[in-house]
Amino acid sequence: MVLRTLDSFGDLHGKTVLARFDFNVPLDGERITDEGRITAALPTLERLVSAGAKVVAMSHLGRPKGVPEARFSLAPVAARLGELVSAPVRLAGDTVGPEAAEARSAQQPGEVILLENLRFDPRETSKVDSERVEFAKQLAEGADVFLSDGFGVVHRKQASVFDVADLLPSAAGPIVQNEVEVLSQLTESPASPYTVILGGSKVSDKLGVIEHLLPRVSALLIGGGMAFTFLKAQGHEVGSSLLEEDQLDTVRGYLAEAERLGVQLVLPTDIVMAASFSADTDHVVAPADSLEGTSLGASALGLDIGPESAETFAKHIADSKTVFWNGPMGVFEMPAFAGGTKRVAEALAQSDAFTVVGGGDSAAAVRTLGFADDDFSHISTGGGASLELLEGKRLPGLEALGW
């Protein structure tokens, strides 16, 4: 399975390149709070611009319900791209309407047009094939080739990801190509010891990746909200902490399978317990086997792994040659509950191992906490797509490119 790449297009001067990016960046009003997905796309955009291509860029942002919503406009993204790209960048006020048509008809080689949010049109995400294809045909009209460089959406069977690829000569951009190479290495040929760290809120979001990676890893470290389902499965009370009762039997199975395989499945030994879910609430560190015995009472909830657990996790990272991390260890947006996530990030940054941060909240966390992208071997631009690839799933957006 070999991905078609940008080189397969040949000379692009004067040609129109319809390019799918993932500019689904977090916003605070109109302020972009994490530019990672924008900066990741810059080398691709500069390569296309320098080749003299007419670039028609497209992306979604947020989860609009198939109609335009001002809060999900790509205007902040277009403005930032205009500051960063060495070419004119124009935002079209729609996707396939009169504003996009006018902008595309006037476009010159070396210029960039960003179409408005794709999900303002319900056909982008429609479950009806004919509706998606109809939208894809309108997007593809006048384009010479299609470049897929939004890795964060390649697991979606959507018009701009899957259907457009059938209508035009298509290829993977550098972001997608690099992501596939890096993440494939984590399942096919990882250097050992190989440690996987999983966090975030729900075990149910990580079932596939746990099942697929458990036979391949040396150690599996569990933090974040999902740790409480594991602790409960071991017989510990967890107060009002996040708990998925319906996953207890599944988790017990993972604990037994890890023991059978000789994999170290490491859970927190201490937890930062809080009186309520707020930044300035009272909080204490409690042993994981007596979370309800704190001064905060049985209604307390865990919002971070404790310092002892963080140091244990850091030691496992230091002893590893390959590390994959997906999901924060706590509510890192609140300083009182960011310690576990920050310590894991520090250990990864200090490690000589091949370290991969699995996108989504993990990528946002390391940047929010002051770490640079080059502190790690690779920061993925896709959360769900990264996990599905590591689960061994076939991803529609990659299959459409020949992979």
Which active-site residues does the annotation give? 37, 202, 360, 384
DSSP letters along 225-273, please? TTHHHHHHHTT---TTS---GGGHHHHHHHHHHHHHHT-EEE--SEEEE
> What are 264's two structure tokens?
């170290």
Say which DSSP state 5 is in: B
Q: Is 90 annotated as a binding residue?
A: no
Please indicate if the annotation marks 330 as binding a ligand.
no
- The letter for the amino acid at 170 is S
Short-list 58, 72, 67, 64, CA closest to 26: 72
What are 236's two structure tokens?
A: 């510990």
Report the DSSP pairing between strands 322-326 and 301-305.
unpaired
How many H-runs (helices) and E-runs (strands) does the chain carry? 13, 17
Cα–Cα nearest to 286, from 251, 338, 236: 236
Angle between helices 36-50 and 360-368 (to 10 degrees): 100
Q: Does 359 carry a binding-site annotation?
A: yes
Residue 397 annotated in ligand binding: no
Residue 302 assigned ligand-binding role: yes
The reply to whether 4 sits in an annotated binding site is: no
Cβ within 8 Å of residue 174, ≥6 positions away: 5, 6, 43, 44, 47, 149
Q: Is 173 annotated as a binding residue?
A: no
Would you say 249 is a known binding-site residue? no
Inter-residue contact 294 to 286 (CB < 8 Å): yes
Residue 162 known to bind ligand: no
Determine if residue 28 is labeled as part of a ligand binding site. Answer: no
Q: Is 23 annotated as a binding residue?
A: yes
What gap in Å lies between CA 138 and CA 285, rounded to an integer? 57
Tell me the backbone φ, ψ of residue 354, rounded to 5 degrees: -80, 110
For residue 360, say whether it is annotated as part of any ligand binding site.
yes
Task: Tell whether 37 is in a known binding site.
Answer: yes
> Parallel, antiparallel, or unpaired for β 378-379 and 354-357?
parallel
Instruction: Report whether 252 belongs to an annotated binding site.
Output: no
320 annotated binding-site participant: no
Residues comprising the binding site for substrate? 22-24, 37, 60-63, 119, 156
Residues comprising the binding site for ATP? 206, 302, 333, 359-362
Residues comprising the binding site for (2R)-3-phosphoglycerate? 37, 119, 156
Residues comprising the binding site? 22-24, 37, 60-63, 119, 156, 206, 302, 333, 359-362
